[in-house]
Amino acid sequence: MPATAASSAPTNNLYPSAITADDSMHWADVVAKELTSTKDEHLISAGISPTGFIHVGSLREAVTAETVRKALADRDADVRMIYLIDSYDPLRRRYEFLPDSFEDEVGRPISDIPCPYGCHDTYAGHFIKPFMDSMDDLGIDCEIFWTHELYRRGEFADAIDASFQRHDRVLEILSTVTGRSMPEGFYPFSPLCSACGRFSNGEVTGYEYPLVSYRCVCGEEGEVDIRKGEGKLSWRLEWPAKWAIFGVTCEPFGKDHAAAGGSYDSGIRLVREVFDAEPPKPIPYEFIQLKGKGQMHKSTGSAVSGVDALRMTPASVFSYTIARVNPERHIDYDSEMGILDMVDEYDRVERMYYESGATDKDEDLVRAYELSQPHGPREDMPMQIPYRHLVNVVQISKDFDDILETLRRTEDLGGISVNELKTLEERVDCVKYWLNAFAPEQVKYSIAEEMPDIGLSDAEAGFLSRLREELQGCDWEGDVIHNTVYETAKEEGLGAKKGFQALYRIFIERRNGPRMGYFLATLDRDFVLRRIAEAASA
C-alpha cells in the first residue's frame, strides 16, 4: 500500500447534492432549474467507449442526457448536447469473442483495428454502428464526435501540453485524490508507437512542444507530435480535458466514476488547476441490472444488448423506463414478463397525459412520459392496442395484414390513420422480437397448421362434436364462445377443465393458453369449426 494514505482519502459529496428536489418536480426539471439558475447557455456531454458489445445499460447515459436536454430546452435555455465516441481507446485485451489473431491488436486504438467480423471499417465502427442507430431511434438530439478524429485534428494538443507543463501539479492532484503514490517516471500520456502501432506502455523520456520522446516496450525509441494525435491522454486527464475543450456544463456518468477518489473527483481539480476551466454539473447514475442475472459486461457480451432493448419495446417506452426513476436509483431490467408490465404502465401514463386524469402523485410519471417522446408528444393520444393482447394476435396471425384482419374481428379499427398504422406496426415488430428472443416459454405457442396427432378420448370427441353444433349458431364473440365452451363441457359431463384442455390441444398443442373464448374469437370462424369437426371425427 502506498504511504500517501487513507487518512487523507477524500470523501466526496456528489450524491447528496446531485439531485435534490426542493419541491415536487421531475428530476430532470430539478437539474434544469439548477443549471439555469446560474446561466442559460449549456452544453451536455455524454459518450461511450465502443470496445465491445454495447448493452442496455449503456443507453442509460444517453437517455439521461437527452432527458436533461429536453428539460433545459423546455425552460428556453440555449442548450446543445454532444456525444463522444471514445474511438481512440486501446483494445485492452483479446476478449473471448475475438479471433486468436486479435492478440496482435491489443494495445492499438480501436479506430485502427479492423472489424473483427469484416463488415465495418474498423473495430470501433462495428460496435458503435448499431448503437448509433439506437440513438436515432431514441431521438437523441446531439452532435457526435469521434475522439480519434479530435486527437488527429490536434484538438487535445493544448491540454496535452498543459499536462506536461504542469506535470508536478498533475502528479500531486492524482496522488492526493486517489490516495496512491504515482509510480516513478509516470506521465498521464501514452505515445502511439510508430513502430508497433500501440499505445506504448514504455517510458516517456522527454517533452518539448510539440514533441514527446518515448521508449516503447517493443524496443522502439522515437518522438510523437501531440498535434497529430500520435498519443493519448490517460482517462483521468482526458475526461477533464474534454470538459475544457468543449465547455461542458453538465454530464451524466456511471457510478464507477462517481466513487470517492474516482475520476470525477480528480477531474474537478485537474480541470481547474491544469486546464483552467470549470467542471460540469455531475449527474451520477446507477447501473441497470438484468433481473435475476446481475451485472453486464462489454467484454463478454450481454444477455440484453442496447439494440435488443429497443427491439422489444418501442423507443419511447424504453426512454420512459429510464426517465421515470431518479438517476441514482438502480433499475432492474426484466426482459421477460416485466416487459409487459412496463408497456402497460406506459400506456396507463399515456392515458393520464392525454386525459388529464393525473393526480399530484402521478405528475412526475406524466412528465417522464412527455420527456420520453423521441420527437415530442403527439397532438392526439395514439391508439392503444395492449401489448398482452398483441402477444396473442401476433402468434395466431401470419403477417401484418393478417394481424390487422385478426384485430378487426374483435375491435373496431375504423379508418385507421397512417400514423396509427406505423405505431401499431412498431409494436407488432417489438412483440415479435420479444417472443422470439426473450419471452418465457409460458406465453409462447403457435397454431397447429394441421390437426395435431393426439389421441382424444371418446368423451372428448363427443364434447367437441356437440360444441361444434353449438358454436355454429352462436355470435362470434369472446364471452359468448367462452360460455358456450364451458356450458357444453359441463353438460357433456366432461367438466370445464378437460373441455378447455381438449381445445388447447387441438389448436396449439398445449394444455393451457390464452382465455379460450377470446382466443377463438380472434381466429377465423370457419377454421375453428373445421378444426373442431376434424378433431371430433378423428
Contact status: 410 vs RNA (CB under 7 A): yes
Interface map 145-174 toward RNA (x if CB under 7 A): ------------------------------
Query: With the C-alpha atoms ordered 294, 316, 146, 241, is the resulting torsion angle positive or negative?
Result: negative
Helix (H, G, I), strand (E, B) or coil at 363: helix
Contact status: 106 vs RNA (CB under 7 A): no
Contacting residue, 41, 136, 143, 256, with RNA by CB under 7 A: 256
Cell, residue 160: 496535452
Contact status: 211 vs RNA (CB under 7 A): no
Of residues 397 and 501, the one with the C-beta less far from RNA: 501
Contact status: 66 vs RNA (CB under 7 A): no
**Minimal distance, residue 466 CB to RNA, in Å:** 17
Cell, residue 254: 456511471
Residues 69-98 that bind RNA (CB under 7 A): 86, 89-90, 92
Cell, residue 344: 402497460
Contact status: 500 vs RNA (CB under 7 A): yes
Contact status: 213 vs RNA (CB under 7 A): no
Contact status: 250 vs RNA (CB under 7 A): no
**Minimal distance, residue 41 CB to RNA, in Å:** 26
CB 222 within 8 A of CB 235: no
Q: Where do runs of H (alpha helix) occur along 438-493? A: 458-473, 478-491
Contact status: 201 vs RNA (CB under 7 A): no
CB 49 within 8 A of CB 91: no
Contact status: 15 vs RNA (CB under 7 A): yes
Of residues 235 and 476, the one with the C-beta less far from RNA: 235
Of residues 178 and 406, the one with the C-beta less far from RNA: 178
Q: How far is CA 330 from CA 17, 315, 423, in A?
A: 18, 20, 30
Contact status: 460 vs RNA (CB under 7 A): no
Contact status: 289 vs RNA (CB under 7 A): yes
**Minimal distance, residue 449 CB to RNA, in Å:** 19
**Minimal distance, residue 444 CB to RNA, in Å:** 7
**Minimal distance, residue 513 CB to RNA, in Å:** 5
CB 496 within 8 A of CB 503: no
Contacting residue, 152, 215, 330, 525, with RNA by CB under 7 A: 330
Contacting residue, 159, 241, 467, 516, with RNA by CB under 7 A: 516
Contacting residue, 518, 533, 534, 538, with RNA by CB under 7 A: 518
Using CA atoms, how far apart are residues 216 and 225, in angstroms rounded to an integer?
Answer: 15
Contact status: 287 vs RNA (CB under 7 A): yes
**Minimal distance, residue 222 CB to RNA, in Å:** 20
Contact status: 329 vs RNA (CB under 7 A): yes
Using CA atoms, how far apart are residues 469 and 466, in angstroms rounded to an integer?
Answer: 5
CB 532 within 8 A of CB 467: yes
Of residues 196 and 337, the one with the C-beta less far from RNA: 337
Contacting residue, 36, 45, 49, 134, with RNA by CB under 7 A: 49
Cell, residue 367: 412528465
Contacting residue, 116, 210, 222, 254, with RNA by CB under 7 A: 254
Contact status: 354 vs RNA (CB under 7 A): no
Of residues 73 and 351, the one with the C-beta less far from RNA: 351
Interface map 361-380 toward RNA (x if CB under 7 A): x-------------------
Of residues 118 and 440, the one with the C-beta less far from RNA: 440
Using CA atoms, how far apart are residues 237 and 50, in angstroms rounded to an integer?
Answer: 19
Range 395-400 contact pairs with CB under 8 angstroms and sequence separation of 24 or more: 395/435, 395/444, 395/445, 395/446, 395/447, 396/447, 396/519, 396/522, 396/523, 400/425, 400/428
Using CA atoms, how far apart are residues 26 and 31, in angstroms rounded to an integer?
Answer: 9
**By CB under 7 A, how many residues form the interface with RNA?**
98
378 contact partners, CB below 8 Å, separation of at least 6: 419
Q: Where do runs of H (alpha helix) occur along 166-262? A: 167-178, 235-246, 255-258
CB 460 within 8 A of CB 492: no
| CA-based nearest residue to 372, from 386, 399, 353, 357 | 353
Contacting residue, 34, 158, 220, 328, with RNA by CB under 7 A: 328
Residues 122-141 that bind RNA (CB under 7 A): none
**Pairing, β 281-285 against β 211-215:** unpaired
Contact status: 514 vs RNA (CB under 7 A): yes
Contacting residue, 172, 286, 405, 534, with RNA by CB under 7 A: 286
**Minimal distance, residue 376 CB to RNA, in Å:** 25
Contact status: 23 vs RNA (CB under 7 A): yes
133 contact partners, CB below 8 Å, separation of at least 6: 307
271-279, 375-383, 389-397, 526-534 -> range binding RNA (CB under 7 A): 389-397
Using CA atoms, how far apart are residues 152 and 149, in angstroms rounded to an integer?
Answer: 5
Amino acid at 31: V
Using CA atoms, how far apart are residues 200 and 188, in angstroms rounded to an integer?
Answer: 12
Cell numbers 394481424 correspond to 403
Contacting residue, 109, 282, 306, 478, with RNA by CB under 7 A: 478
CB 531 within 8 A of CB 537: no
**Minimal distance, residue 70 CB to RNA, in Å:** 20
**Minimal distance, residue 78 CB to RNA, in Å:** 27
**Pairing, β 231-233 against β 221-225:** unpaired
